[in-house]
Amino acid sequence: MKTLLLGVGLGALITLSAPATPAQTKQTTTTPGASAAQANAAALQQYQWKLRTEVQRKGETKSVQVALVRFDSNGQMQTTQISKTPEPDLPKFGLRKVIAEKKFREFKERVQQLGDLARAYSNLPPDQMQCFMATAAVTPEITAEQKLIRVEGGNVLHNGDSMTVWLDAASRKQRRVEIQTSLDGKPVRIVSDFRDLPQAGPTYLATSRIAYDDGDVVIVMTNFDHERLRAETAAAKP
């Protein structure tokens, strides 16, 4: 079972922050599960959708950005900003200005670091994923709604971290990924939920939530309004 789950797990992590590009999926086509992940990634490239990113600080929303997501003819993800909240009004003079600018800069840097950390987990090299699967515990998990397979392991990217992947027991499609890690000695929890598009469509990342330092900083990403592109439109993508 672990051999089959390996490829599916790779697909789950690759799509944690974005669907895989052909270059990424090419490296993981050694198992039936990997082939399924590659096919799912290719199917997602026939869609465009909106991505909403909300950044919170101590429970207060600091910024919201909405972008249009689609793929170019080379399979590379392209995002076009649709809307964004304005930058905050900072003091314009004196010491207050210096302090406010420093805090704002540090906050933006922290958000960037958290995004980089999430991407590092979503783009685990095959050898690290194989190491995870070799030592992971695989157990069935039955809920009121569905039957799942839970794959749980540790020391994935850093010593002491952990990752749990939930797969649909029948289809082997990813349903949830949860990562417990740290940044500068403070806890980071990344939770991503997956859904299937209607009419037997591909699996996509519905929501991903990155919480730092017990919620001091939270980033919430939501993908929605998926629209299948016409064949001629897809072929003409820049």
pLDDT in tens, 113-171: 999 999 999 888 888 888 888 889 999 998 877 899 999 999 999 999 999 999 999 88
The mean of the pLDDT values for the chain is 82
Highest mean pLDDT among 28-42, 142-156, 221-235: 142-156
| Candidate from 81-85, 86-90, 151-155 with smallest mean pLDDT | 86-90
Q: Which residue has the tokens 């699967």?
A: 133
pLDDT at 145: 79
Please, how many CA atoms are within 13 Å of residue 47, restricted to the half-sphere of its CB? 22
Q: First and final CA of the chain: distance in angstroms? A: 41
Summarised one tens digit per residue, pLDDT across range 206-222 is: 999 999 999 999 999 99
Cβ-contact 78, 61 below 8 angstroms = no
Q: Would you state the structure tokens that stand for residue 217, as one six-digit string? A: 């900083």
**pTM for the structure as a whole:** 0.81
- Alpha helices, DSSP H only, in the chain? 2-14, 22-26, 32-44, 94-122, 126-135, 231-235
**Are 211 and 223 in contact, with CB atoms under 8 Å apart?**
no
Whole-angstrom Cα Rg for the chain: 19
Q: b vs e for 201-220, b when ≥16 Cβ sit within 10 Å of the residue's Cβ? A: bbbbbeebbbbbbeeebbbb
Joined together, the tokens standing for residue 229 give 């592109």
Which of 27-41, 43-57, 75-89, 212-226 is predicted least confidently?
27-41
Distance CA 167, CA 117 (A): 23
Residue 114: both structure tokens together: 């958290």
Nearest to 154 by CA among 136, 174, 130, 134: 136
Local confidence band at 34 (pLDDT 50, 70, 90 cut-offs):
low
